[in-house]
Amino acid sequence: MTSVFPHKKAKALKPTSRRPAKELCSECGLCDTYYIHYVKEACAFLNQQIHELEEQTHTRSRNLDNPDELYFGVHQDMMAARKKEPIPGAQWTGIVSTIAIEMLNRNLVEGVVCVQNTKEDRFQPMPIIARTPEEILAARVNKPTLSPNLSVLEQIEKSGMKRLLVIGVGCQIQALRAVEKQLGLEKLYVLGTPCVDNVTRAGLQKFLETTSRSPNTVVHYEFMQDFRVHFKHEDGSIETVPFFGLKTNKLKDVFAPSCMSCFDYVNSLADLVVGYMGAPFGWQWITVRNDTGREMLELVKDWLETQPVMTSGDRKAAVQQSIPAYDKAVTIPIWAAKLMGVIIEKIGPKGLEYARFSIDSHFTRNYLYVKRNHPEKLEAHVPEFAKRIVNQYKLPKS
Ligand code: FAD
Ligand code: SF4
């Protein structure tokens, strides 16, 4: 007899076993559970299905002829926002943690999937299902490493929870949406962040050691809209390093192969997305994708200062120049990098145009990566919207 939940007969993989997506695995956590039963359809790196999952989630896929949807996915609204009273120690102003806490306090959900860090290592991810505001607060700030957020999925079914919020990045959310109907939930809320250039824990160490003056005291870092990496240290000091001064030759293989093959930078399948790159410096960037996302944002509106999204500058020449520079792993002297940073900050792309700059640079790089390393996957793995974005640029022939 076939079971209603055939996945319950499947067995999670051992932590040391090779994942079905092999080197492209982003360690999203699905294969750490019996939902591995669905891996062939659900894995973002084995079966790219953003178009179909957009229809399932938002009732329609993005309109490729609408320039904002082409880039930022299905949405009802976008804005810049910041908390009037930021949460100390959050990645930005803590909008994500605030929404999650409010959803729990108002009993909209019984639990929140989020990621804390281990006691020993502030950057080692430890996914949990939070059931108290304190547990959500303890998950604030990015763990800039691949994180198996979905590894807690079996606990949901076992706990009998019916209303759940999941916080996660694009690859985790793609797999989650693919198994959503199997979770036995009455309501699933998804709060996403954009994500790019993630690394394994070992890769993170290499990045910090190659780039920061004091790798062991970094508590937080971000690639900011002023074209610099900002490192925050334990003593509260901020160190900035211009993008153009990064030691590209040493860092070329630091990013995870999954992230070099990802085209879901903006987390297309979340209900609400909170990032920063489409907003002015110091502000967060909010994309409301559907009615569920609107409901989540409404809960915290009174604690936010907001302003409309803006856009200025022209990214195209800078993106075109970045393609061969990255390819040849060019590193320029630090004085020239600083100078370029100052000039580009003054005249360069801002707001949504900065977000397009970042999307274009990463999609062109990732397209070349897939073409060279997994040519057999190129056609099916790259979504149509990404092909249109990449086609705006001249790429090296091989
Ligand atoms: P907080 O209130 O500090 O909460 C952060 C939340 O992130 C926590 O709930 C935690 O559970 C979750 N989280 C932390 N690490 C991970 C992880 N590895 N995987 C899944 N969930 C995690 N925004 C952009 O606009 N452009 C980018 O290029 C970009 N890159 C990012 C890369 C990574 C790896 C991550 C995790 C986020 C990235 N973001 C990016 C989002 C941005 O940095 C902030 O996370 C977002 O604006 C929320 O800030 P906050 O202060 O509201 O979050
Ligand atoms: Fe499994 Fe997720 Fe890795 Fe795909 S990315 S192989 S679903 S753990």
How confident is the model at residue 181, as a pLDDT?
95
Question: Which pLDDT band holds residue 326 (cuts at 50, 70, 90)?
Answer: confident
How confident is the model at residue 8, as a pLDDT?
80
**Predicted confidence (pLDDT) at residue 330 exceeds the cutoff of 70:** no
Q: Is 277 in the pocket of ligand 1 (CB under 6 A)?
A: yes
How confident is the model at residue 104, as a pLDDT?
98
Q: Which of 19, 35, 149 to mutate to test the pocket of ligand 2 (most atoms within 8 A of CB)?
A: 19
What would the pLDDT profile of 2-60 be if each residue is shown by its tens digit? 556 788 889 999 989 999 999 999 999 999 999 999 999 999 999 999 999 999 999 99
Which of 299, 297, 271 is CA-nearest to residue 284? Answer: 297
Question: Which pLDDT band holds residue 159 (cuts at 50, 70, 90)?
Answer: very high
Which of ligand 2's atoms lies nearest the C-alpha of 258? 5
Q: Is 193 in the pocket of ligand 1 (CB under 6 A)?
A: yes
Query: What DSSP character marks residue 88?
Result: T
* Helices marked H in the chain: 39-42, 50-58, 67-72, 95-105, 133-137, 153-159, 170-179, 201-211, 248-251, 291-298, 316-327, 334-347, 352-373, 378-381, 384-390
DSSP code per residue over 233-269: ETTS-EEEEEGGGS-HHHHTTTS-TTGGG---TT-TT
What would the pLDDT profile of 270-321 be if each residue is shown by its tens digit? 999 999 999 998 999 999 999 999 999 999 999 999 999 999 999 998 889 8
Q: Is 189 in the pocket of ligand 2 (CB under 6 A)?
A: no
Does ipTM top 0.85?
yes
Sign for the pseudo-dihedral over CA of 129, 133, 138, 140: positive
What would the pLDDT profile of 184-234 be if each residue is shown by its tens digit? 999 999 999 999 999 988 899 999 999 999 999 999 998 888 888 999 999
Please give the model's pTM, rounded to 2 decimal places: 0.95
Ligand 2 midpoint to CA 17 (Å): 12
Ligand 2 midpoint to CA 315 (Å): 34
Q: Is 81 in the pocket of ligand 2 (CB under 6 A)?
A: no
Mean pLDDT, rounded, for 383-396: 96
| Distances in whole angstroms, Cα of residue 237 to Cα of each of 25, 85, 267 | 35, 21, 31
Q: Is 19 in the pocket of ligand 2 (CB under 6 A)?
A: yes
Relative to beta strand 304-308, strand 77-83 is: antiparallel
**Identity at 250, one-letter amino acid code:** K
